[in-house]
Chains A and B, each alone.
Chain A
């Protein structure tokens, strides 16, 4: 269960972003995250942990929205791409090459924040 660590990291990263804004941020209303298929994250648990970590901060009560990014693998030999969800294989189904790499599905990213600015 490393979601608590991820929640702390999310809070630290948000603090860092807020510090570097020109305008003063009053409240964070929404946090949009992109989570790749290969990342081991349970959204419900991360949200629970973040609710604890963000108490008494500008992010308290923020809604976290998750977008799951599917796994897309590219074969470097035949240049074809394929989706690797049910039967994840890194052997190219078209040419059997093992020279493949992940092009999507490893994201663990803060996409954007929706905030209220102190006017």
Chain B
């Protein structure tokens, strides 16, 4: 019996695809964010609101990840924005090899920013680097204020957390103070953006954030 010392990341192959994506994006001077949130958190709606806004000054391409259907890509297409739908069938998250293929279908020379909408899930997508600049967590009031502590990996890793459906707060027991305190504990430097697509509250802040990503350095 002999021992082979390895000391390598188990996800080495995913990481190598993520590195290739980073090189392509760097070459074209494109930033990329990875939206992660539950099904129904409002990820697609946030992208739609940005595309609808006349404050948007950045050229966006979208990669949609879903188990099935082109429903999300169809919603984005109405805004005449380049979009690629990935159907993962049984896979509960996107992996870098899928995104690498999808990026090849986007007109990179025309884009400043790529938004990936990951498969709706608060757990698995966190483990797979897609070559993005950073992760954005999307959480809705309807899910409850306890989600940061229940899913610490996502809320620790995301640089930005978008709270959606804030117009529902008066109708629920959602405690925004406790939500923010828990995030502060897990991720003291995270930026929190409060939004509602129903009342348009905070959409300007969300769009302003997207406008500034192309000029951001490593830190938000």
Contact = CB atoms under 8 A, between A and B. Distances in A.
A113 B6 contact: yes
Given A40-B123, A98-B189, A109 B8 contact: yes
B93 A5 contact: yes
B1 A114 contact: yes
B129 to A, nearest CB: 11
A110 B6 contact: yes
B6 A40 contact: no
Given A40-B123, A115-B2, A115-B4, A108 B10 contact: yes
Contact of A112 (B4, B123, B186): B4
Judged by DSSP, the binding face of B is mixed
A10 B128 CA distance: 14
Nearest to B121: A2
Contacts of B7: 109-112
B92 A2 contact: yes
Given A13-B8, A17-B8, A2 B124 contact: yes
Interface residues of B, number: 32
Interface in B5-31: 5-14
B41 to A, nearest CB: 18
A111 B11 contact: no
A13 B4 contact: no
Given A6-B127, A40-B153, A110-B7, 20 more contacts: A2-B124, A2-B127, A2-B128, A5-B91, A9-B11, A13-B11, A13-B12, A17-B8, A40-B127, A88-B185, A88-B186, A89-B186, A100-B188, A109-B9, A110-B9, A113-B3, A114-B1, A115-B1, A115-B3, A117-B2
11 contacts: A1-B124, A2-B127, A9-B10, A9-B11, A16-B13, A100-B188, A108-B9, A110-B6, A111-B7, A113-B3, A113-B6
Interface of B: 1-14, 91-93, 95, 123-124, 126-128, 152-153, 156, 184-189
